[in-house]
Amino acid sequence: MTDETVLIADLINVHTREKAFRELISLYKERLYWHVRKIVISHDDADDVLQNTFIKIYKNITKFNQESQLFSWMYRIATNEAITFINKRAKERKVDLSKVQEQLVANLESDVYFSGDEIQIILQKAIATLPQKQQLVFNMKYFDDLKYLEISEIVGTSVGALKASYFHAVKKIESYIKNKTD
């Protein structure tokens, strides 16, 4: 049995669930935080979304069918929670999703938890101009260094479509950065 299989068994077992869940959080918290943070931009929002993500994981671990990797399943939950959060924020503010993204990136410069330089802010602004799916694919491929097959499991899209999305995202980002730095 693999370490992941043992961890899943311990998560399902009521006698070992609490300890196994603490281990799961220890193993994946940072990685999931940065994934969520790239979507919601704000540190505080990322913390809230991450907490909701782990609550969902805890409540639904017994439904995990092990057809995908545990990591991919958790990434999918984190992605869905982050997208739901952003969509909810747009609806609450009665603005388009792209406006919410622009506002979040604009706030990034004053975020005490953001240590990036000017080019990183330009990159984040460029990413914010992309359609949501391209943002996800770009972030997972570029920042998280996930393979297309892993991304496919997470977002439920074919590898070919993901490659096309990534290609288009890169071209749009290159164009945006070129226009901002010329």
CATH assignment of the domain containing 160:
1.10.10.10
User: In terms of domains, do 83 and 138 share one?
Assistant: no
Which two tokens mark 133? 């799916």
CATH assignment of the domain containing 4:
1.10.1740.10
Domain membership flag for residue 105: no
User: In terms of domains, do 14 and 92 share one?
Assistant: yes
User: In terms of domains, do 23 and 86 share one?
Assistant: yes
Residue ranges making up the domain that contains 164: 116-182
Contact 76, 64 (CB under 8 A): no
**CB atoms near residue 130 (< 10 Å):** 22
Q: pLDDT of the chain along its 182 residues, tens only?
A: 678 889 999 999 999 999 999 999 999 999 999 999 988 888 889 999 999 999 999 999 988 887 778 999 999 999 999 989 988 887 887 777 666 676 766 666 666 566 666 777 788 888 888 888 899 999 999 988 999 999 998 888 999 999 999 999 999 999 988 887 77
Domain membership flag for residue 103: no
Contact 113, 164 (CB under 8 A): no
User: In terms of domains, do 145 and 178 share one?
Assistant: yes
User: In terms of domains, do 92 and 3 share one?
Assistant: yes
